[in-house]
Structure 1
Amino acid sequence: MALIFKTDIERGGAWRAAFAKQLPDVELRLWPEVGAAEEIEYAVVWQPPAGFLASLPNLKAVFSIGAGIDHLLADPELPRGVPIIRMVEPGLTVGMTQFVVMACLMLHRSMIDYRNQQVAHHWEEISQEPPENRRIGIIGLGHLGGEAAKALRGFGFPVSGWSRSRKQIEGVTSYAGEEELSDFLARTDILVSLLPLTPQTEDMIDAKLLSGLPKGASFVSAGRGRQVVEEDLLAALDSGQLSGAVLDVFREEPLPKDSRFWDHPRVIVLPHVASMTNPATAVGSIVENIRRIQRGEAPLHQVDLEKGY
């Protein structure tokens, strides 16, 4: 029995060490050294080449290294009937929670304005709103969104979330479905996107959606770049409909050097680093699911391919 692993080469050593420690009875193969394809029963991958997974005849499960699985769904030959398992692990969750809290606090505490004052060598205090007056809304209230919402509540912010189905999170107002989206947006001063990328969410954050926010609201993008119509976002920033944005994901990555986002005075650009999977804790999650499959049990966090998450 073998497991094939594919990610960026810089982190391969850390993953190899974690697998050797926690899964010593399974042979680890680092892509592109596939070996005998029929011996591979598990694949732990990020952006595998189209058709690669279909070339493994005895595959029992595919694990996404990241929280998103759009990189797998883009494969037209993705084998059907093989469980696709999204990454849910403590390190990834903590990292995203930290990022969302950091971004919201930066926007709440006027850090974009202070950065611009620093560039201009200008010293001036900016009045500060109490947290109870800054309403935060998380669009995409799944596992990561729920944990971020609970952390933000600890700072005194009123927090709500929007998702396809109703969620039950203490102290967080849950909105669900298209019919409640406008009400959710109307009470959101900082919008945080943690949506999965699906056909329904692609281009979802457009001029119409952004116009539903209160004038002067701000935006944190940490889901997927293709969910945002970038020209509409720039127009909202230019007009003052949005007062600022912290952007971690983009339609094209790396962000092209001629993108207006680089030099926009109301934008903070980050290179898709909101959260990174921690090999030490992620392998534990993978091992648990492999053991479940070996016992004939259903794996945890299996993707519903109809929903796309």
Structure 2
Amino acid sequence: MTRGALALLIHGGTDNWSPERWKARFDQVCHDRRVLQLPQASFNPADVHYAAVWKPVPGELAAFPNLKVIFNLGAGVDALMADKTLPSVPLVRVAVDDLTNRMMEYVVLHVLMHHRQEPYLRESQRNGRWAPKYQWPASAICVGIMGIGTLGARAAHVLQQIGFRVVGWSRSRKQVEGIECFAGGEQFDAFLRRTDILVCLLPLTADTRGILNRDVFGKLNRASPLGAPVLINAGRGGLQNEADILASLDGTLGGVSLDVFSREPVPADSPFWTHPKVVLTPHNAADTDPGAISRYVAEQIARFEAGGALENVVDRARGY
């Protein structure tokens, strides 16, 4: 029996999202299953049973009449969910240790960067100025993580091991061992008041769009040893009101680390490139090795074809 083909629809632009690189990995793990790199491949759309995608063009997936599962190769599925023609088949998000650990590395790096006053120290170095400031201990800082799912929980535990106080918030109730978790709108302000460094790892949904705004920044801990609270957003660009972030750097926020933006690449004339209180990274917080994800997808397909259940299926009503 001929196995259903797997179509790769990858629109990235960076080296890690090279379609050729991903096809080579999928060819290694899919064995006798045909892997189609679109749009180059010649094929019958009816032969495609699975699709592994990153930022597909709206309408592309609707061309496959026998599609059974869509695998999103990144963590966020908001771009897919915006496609009104998306086939009504299971949509699976990536949940592999490699991605989780890379996000943890990013969050811990940037929390430590602001905690240890690295922007100030690097400015002092550029200016030839030997002027150390008092350095508070990690235990003096409370890190608040918005989005305390798999990614947030991993970062929370490592930060806690370093010595930071850590709290979490999510829209629905979560339980994470050793972490005080807040939930819903009724506990949001209490969470913010505790927070010196705000880390956002939320999915982008209709309810979370623009949630990082000036009103939220003004509710963060004003008595922070940092002098002013800090924002780290490695979730989605649509979570942040970018005009509010820039306006809040007048003192409401002491600094920000941003990995995601409403428009990517960030325009050359954006103030984010040159603002002294902004650390900008090019959406690479959790760039994951194609080998780890291709194995994950191949294992899911094999389990599904053997009658098993798919893991990490997106709840389309919730958007994640």
Structure 1 and Structure 2 fold alike (TM over 0.5): yes
The TM-score with structure 2 as length reference comes to 0.93
Amino acid at match of 1:69: V
SS of corresponding position for 2:162: coil
Please name the residue that 2:7 is paired with. 4
Pick one of 268, 282, 304 that aligns with 1:257.
268
Q: Displacement, 1:173?
A: 0.8
Pick one of 104, 108, 115 that aligns with 1:108.
115
Please name the residue that 1:236 is paired with. 248
Looking at structure 1, the residues matched to 50 and 67 of structure 2 have their Cα atoms a distance apart, in angstroms, of 6
**Contact in 2 for aligned 1:64/1:84 (Cα 8 Å):** yes
| Stretch of structure 1 that moved more, 37-46 or 270-279 | 270-279
SS of corresponding position for 1:242: coil
Looking at structure 1, the residues matched to 233 and 124 of structure 2 have their Cα atoms a distance apart, in angstroms, of 24
1:73 aligns to 2:73 (yes or no): no
**Contact in 2 for aligned 1:65/1:277 (Cα 8 Å):** no
Pick one of 235, 258, 264 that aligns with 1:223.
235
1:162 aligns to 2:174 (yes or no): no
**Contact in 2 for aligned 1:50/1:77 (Cα 8 Å):** yes
| Stretch of structure 1 that moved more, 162-171 or 143-152 | 162-171
Q: Displacement, 1:15?
A: 2.1
Q: CA offsets per residue over residues 93-151 of structure 1, 9 Å max, x none?
A: 11111000000000100011112222332221121111111000110111111111111
**Contact in 2 for aligned 1:136/1:189 (Cα 8 Å):** yes
Pick one of 36, 46, 64 that aligns with 2:44.
36
Looking at structure 1, the residues matched to 53 and 177 of structure 2 have their Cα atoms a distance apart, in angstroms, of 35
Looking at structure 2, the residues matched to 135 and 44 of structure 1 have their Cα atoms a distance apart, in angstroms, of 39
Please name the residue that 1:289 is paired with. 300
Q: CA offsets per residue over residues 133-178 of structure 1, 9 Å max, x none?
A: 1000110111111111111111011111100222222221101111
Q: CA offsets per residue over residues 275-296 of structure 1, 9 Å max, x none?
A: 1121111112111211222122
Q: CA offsets per residue over residues 177-201 of structure 1, 9 Å max, x none?
A: 1100000000000000101010111
Please name the residue that 2:58 is paired with. 50
| Stretch of structure 1 that moved more, 13-22 or 251-260 | 13-22
Looking at structure 2, the residues matched to 43 and 277 of structure 1 have their Cα atoms a distance apart, in angstroms, of 18
**Contact in 2 for aligned 1:15/1:279 (Cα 8 Å):** yes
Looking at structure 2, the residues matched to 6 and 138 of structure 1 have their Cα atoms a distance apart, in angstroms, of 32
Looking at structure 2, the residues matched to 53 and 137 of structure 1 have their Cα atoms a distance apart, in angstroms, of 38
Please name the residue that 2:156 is paired with. 149
Runs of 4+ off more than 4 Å: none
Amino acid at match of 2:243: E
Gaps of 5+ in 2: 223-227
Amino acid at match of 1:231: A
Q: Aligned pairs, how many?
A: 307
Q: What is the percent sequence identity of the aligned residues? A: 41
The TM-score with structure 1 as length reference comes to 0.96
Q: Displacement, 1:33?
A: 2.9
Alignment RMSD (CA, Å): 1.3
Please name the residue that 2:101 is paired with. 94
Pick one of 273, 276, 285 that aligns with 2:287.
276
Q: Displacement, 1:42?
A: 0.4
Q: Displacement, 1:261?
A: 1.2
Looking at structure 2, the residues matched to 279 and 252 of structure 1 have their Cα atoms a distance apart, in angstroms, of 25
Please name the residue that 1:118 is paired with. 125
Gaps of 5+ in 1: none
1:63 aligns to 2:68 (yes or no): no
Looking at structure 1, the residues matched to 194 and 123 of structure 2 have their Cα atoms a distance apart, in angstroms, of 28
Amino acid at match of 1:222: A
